[in-house]
Chains A and B, each alone.
Chain A
Amino acid sequence: MLQFFVDVILRTVDLALIAVALSCVYSLIRFPNIALVQYATAGALIALGLQTLGLPLYLAIVLSCVITGLMAVVLSVLIFEKLLDTSPPLAMVGSLAVSMIFTAVFLVTVGPRPKRFDLEIMAPVRWAGVSITPMQLVSVGLTMGAILLFALLLFRTGLGRSMRATSTNRVLAEATGIPTRKVINGVIVLSGILAALGGISISLKGEMGAQLGFDLLLPIFAAAILGGLGNALGAALGAFTIALAETFVTNVNFGWVVSQDFYFLPASFATIVSFGLLVLILLFRPHGLLVSEVKRV
């Protein structure tokens, strides 16, 4: 049982930060940016590159987050906002195209082989039948810390208030003197940082490859929509729900159904669950589990 809980948390950590970033951007500029999943891969690979250049890991991570954040805002200003002026669906297709270019760039620069950070190999900690590696703990801590900081920023600071105001009604916010342009760019930098951190936290406890982000596209969208697109913290809850469903399908012994001692569904069924949940949510609760001000998905 404890192992089940640990697995759910670890999977939530995989999805949460990127889903939060996706939802957060959506709340301001009303289009789901598919390229965000690639910012996660980029963040991890840049951090690895910096570490290979001889930087200590924590510095490499910080620097990589900054670089990815800046890249996010540059792409947004140069490409996505122009497309968005035409129509949001066009911007979404544009972001798909951009993310395909990203994959190609990763394949050419880093190659198709999976990579790992240069970390010392540490034996797992075993406790009450559960084994956890120190890096998994670091990854969980990093993610929770980032989400907590983000929540504080959103609800306890002036910037957060401006962000929420801009997302609720941009015209009105502008009329009351909020520099909406700056707020939007700030949020996009923040989304890049969150996504990069998401990718890095996945790579810390496992490995990274050119497909890291793209493989997560479906569960992340499912998580963000489940939490109500535009509701940033709802996305974290959405990630937890998806993780719970995925882990349930693959970790529960269905032996009693087929009257065998053990029967597990193949692990690839986890993807089917995110797909299934996504369809169900879109059918029955298109605004997500938590009601938000967003009226369209």
Chain B
Amino acid sequence: MKRGMLLAATVSLAAMASAALAEPLKIGAVLSLSGPSATAGEDQRRGIELAVEEINAAGGVLSEPVQLIIEDSGGRVPSALDAAKKLVTVDDVPVVLGEYSSGITIPMGTYVVQEGRIHLNMGSSSGKVRDIGENSFSVIGLDRVSSGYAAQDLYDLGYRKIAVITPNNAFGQGVAQEFNQAFGGLGGEVVSSVLYTEGQTSYRRELQQMDRTQPDAYFYSAYGKEAATINREAFELGLNQTQWYAGYMSMCTSDSQPEYIEGQIGYDLNFIGDNGQAYEAAYQERYGEPFVTSFSGYAYDAAKMIMKAAEHAGSTDPEALRTALTEIGGTGFEGATGTILFDESRQRSKQPYLKQKIVDGKAQAR
């Protein structure tokens, strides 16, 4: 008890001390503004931008306007690392948000954490994100949950033989493996599981191999542009006669022509929680269209959360931010995507999903 009070006193003393020499909070972000995931990357940028504008309009953090520095990863690991290096060494940011694809988030986050800064993951769901390190937090639920959800959903719909196609990276391998386990456990069979090489202009061969195993449904989870190629070629090969099931619907369909994806079913992140209406309205007003993908809300929440942590800690020091984030995430942060609660390894512990179907080119609840 006494010790607790002492601790509280030191913390508040430290907070006061640092508040006296408060610097403006600098938020760095590495996003896929070009490359196969550019649509989602741009949507993440919008989310962060909205959050920062909102806070700055209300007086900023620690009485200073927040500075936002965004770098493009081009959807490639080397460029993402260069971008993170620039943010850490040149701009000296205490926190880096990003990336989108798990294959990039993991090396990028690992670098940021090694440099003693805070990493916030807001778009990647590979289970390996958990191991990035002490200073890394996720505001988005990881994969064990989502693949199990898809397996159960497909099984309940009566499908028993599934062909799976996912990208050959940390994300895709994770999804395929978890799905295979979950679906096998339910008594179904994964008849073929293809890991595709990212960035190709054709996936015809992969699709034909899957077709040969005569599945009764296809389960895929692919990045925007690549998913568009897969959807087009599946259509051209007539594979869309069989049911397609999308893991992360808005990621899979954001860049596809409506004709190619008609009738697909799948799940997506529930990207609007109980407190999300204000954000949804702000987004619509600012960009003149409904949400493009489901990822902007997570970016918005990540930015809001780190700003709240800085205010809470009264400092922009990474150590203080980490303590503050752990505290805020421990009691639950009310974000636009719902309540964000961290588990003991700093990952979002609960993640609600939506069941969707594409009707007339648009995703609807089913």
Instruction: Report which A residues bind B (CB closer than 8 A).
Output: 3, 7, 111-114, 121, 124, 126, 131, 133, 136, 206-209, 211-212, 215, 250-251, 253, 261-262, 264, 266-268, 270
Contact = CB atoms under 8 A, between A and B. Distances in A.
Interface stretch (B16-24, B137-145, B191-199, B279-287): B191-199
Given A124-B235, A212-B201, 12 more contacts: A7-B205, A112-B74, A113-B35, A113-B38, A114-B229, A121-B260, A131-B236, A209-B201, A211-B199, A251-B205, A262-B209, A262-B212
- The CB with the most chain A CB atoms within 10 A, among B197, B205, B208, is that of B205
Given A113-B225, A262-B191, A215 B205 contact: no
A206 B231 CA distance: 12
Interface in B180-226: 191-192, 194-197, 199, 201-206, 208-209, 212-213, 225
A150 B43 CA distance: 49
A131 B238 contact: yes
Interface in B234-253: 235-238
B259 interface: yes
Contacts of B38: 113
A112 B192 contact: no
B34 A267 contact: no
16 contacts: A7-B205, A7-B208, A112-B74, A121-B260, A124-B236, A124-B238, A136-B236, A211-B199, A211-B201, A212-B201, A251-B209, A262-B191, A262-B192, A262-B212, A264-B209, A264-B212
B257 interface: yes
B257 A121 contact: yes
Contacts of B236: 124, 131, 133, 136
A267 B192 contact: no
B195 A266 contact: yes
A270 B229 contact: no
A262 B213 contact: yes
A216 to B, nearest CB: 10
B205 A206 contact: no
Nearest to B226: A114
Contacts of A206: 201-202, 229, 233
A250 B259 contact: no
B201 A126 contact: no
A267 B201 contact: no
A121 B233 CA distance: 12
Name the prevailing secondary structure of the B interface residues: mixed
A270 B201 CA distance: 14
Contacts of A268: 197
A253 B225 CA distance: 29
B225 A114 contact: yes
Nearest to A111: B34
Contacts of A212: 201
A121 B259 contact: yes
Nearest to A125: B238
B209 A261 contact: no
Contacts of A253: 212
A250 B209 contact: yes
Contacts of B237: 124, 131
B53 to A, nearest CB: 27
- Listed from nearest, the 5 A-B pairs whose CB atoms lie closest are A267-B205, A264-B209, A131-B238, A250-B205, A121-B259
A33 B259 CA distance: 41
A268 to B, nearest CB: 5
B206 A267 contact: yes
Contacts of B201: 114, 206-209, 211-212, 215
Contacts of B205: 7, 250-251, 267, 270
Given A114-B225, A126-B238, A261 B34 contact: no
Contacts of A124: 235-238
Contacts of B199: 211
B229 A267 contact: no
A264 B202 CA distance: 17
Contacts of B208: 3, 7, 251
Interface string B71-84: 00011000000000
A10 to B, nearest CB: 8
Nearest to B74: A112
Contact of A207 (B35, B191, B229): B229
Interface string B57-89: 000000000000000001100000000000000
Given A7-B208, A121-B259, A206-B202, A112 B229 contact: no
- The CB with the most chain B CB atoms within 10 A, among A112, A124, A251, is that of A112
Contacts of A209: 201
Contact of B209 (A112, A133, A267): A267
A270 B200 CA distance: 13
A20 B202 CA distance: 23
A50 B4 CA distance: 72
Contacts of B206: 267
A40 B196 CA distance: 25
A267 B212 contact: no
Interface string B109-152: 00000000000000000000000000000000000000000000
A207 B202 CA distance: 8
Contact of B34 (A7, A113, A215, A251): A113
A128 to B, nearest CB: 12
A122 to B, nearest CB: 9
B361 to A, nearest CB: 12
Contacts of B195: 266
